Amino acid sequence: MDLTAEKLQVKRGRKEIIKNMSVFVKDKQFVGLVGPNGCGKSTLLKSIYKSLVPQNGSVFLDDLNVLKSSAKKVSRHLGVVGQFNEMNFDLTVEQMVLLGRTPHKKLLESDQPDDYKIVEEALRKTQLLEYKTRSYLSLSGGEKQRVILARAIAQQPDLMILDEPTNHLDIRHQIEILSCVKQFGISVLAALHDLDLAVAYCDYLYAVKGGEVYAHGKPEEVLTSELIEELYEIKCQTYVNPVTNRLGFAYEL
């Protein structure tokens, strides 16, 4: 599924947080958003997944007009793993993941055997089977993050939006979560802080600064020493990592 987000503008009071930004994800592409804290990555993603209404611009999933469609209709196609996953009421892990099936149900329709099968599979893929009956609120930050991913998987979306999905995760689970998403072969738009992970997983990157697209292209084209220095206001030297053969980064203030 293609995502076409064009000329988005988001204002908060007088402040223009997103300035005329356009972002494209082609079918089955893994696209990353990188940029310093506060540059507007989350705000851009929220305006795409309908968590906030942009002042201007359009968002299409193939020919579905996201901003003019109901949340339920959009969520049949679009799954989201956000940064903060707190809840006030408690559910078991299985119940949380079952919520991912809601967009596919009619009003008051109960869970069907197929829904439980899909949930079981999502729990298996995120290595959460043994947590099935645990209370969601009792989980660690990283475990909660994986439950939210499992819920998005159970939603069977065509495009997934990830807002810093590796927040809270240890190195093994960072790699697992991104590999897991990558292997679905669906379209992905992900805000990432770790440039090594961006190089390893993204087909295309948007570098964001001050609410605008600063540069875009393949990771190796975008992530030059000069661009990283300008983007993050640090010193940076890039090199080819002799083990992975991929671009690596050395930073200094």
Contact residues for ligand ATP (CB under 6 A)?
12, 17, 35, 37-43
Sheet of strand 15-25: strand arrangement: 15-25, 3-12, 56-61, 64-65
Which is closer to ligand ATP, CB of 25 or CB of 34?
34
- Torsion angle of C-alpha atoms 206, 207, 209, 213, degrees rounded to 10: -40
Nearer to ligand ATP, 38 or 185 (CB): 38
Task: Name 160's Cβ contacts closer than 8 Å, sequence gap at least 6.
Answer: 78, 79, 80, 81, 152, 181, 184, 186, 187, 188, 189, 190
Task: In angstroms, give the least distance from the CB of 122 to ligand ATP.
Answer: 26
CB of 19 vs ligand ATP, minimal distance in Å: 11
Residue 14 CB, shortest distance to ligand ATP, in Å, is 10
Quick one: 122 or 215, whose CB is closer to ligand ATP? Answer: 215
CB of 144 to ligand ATP, least distance (A): 18
Compare residues 2 and 212 and give the one whose CB is closer to ligand ATP: 212
Q: Residue 195 has which token pair?
A: 């440039």
- Both tokens of 244, joined, read 């992975």
* Minimum separation from the CB atom of position 55 to ligand ATP (A): 13
| 3-class DSSP assignment, residue 141 | helix
Shortest approach of ligand ATP to residue 57 CB, angstroms? 15
At residue 45, the 3 state secondary structure works out as helix
Looking at the Cβ atoms of 120 and 210, the one nearer to ligand ATP is 210
- Phi then psi for residue 111, to 5 deg, are -70, 135
CB nearer to ligand ATP: give 43 or 238.
Answer: 43
Q: How far apart are CA 197 and CA 193, in angstroms?
A: 8
DSSP conformational letter for 78: E
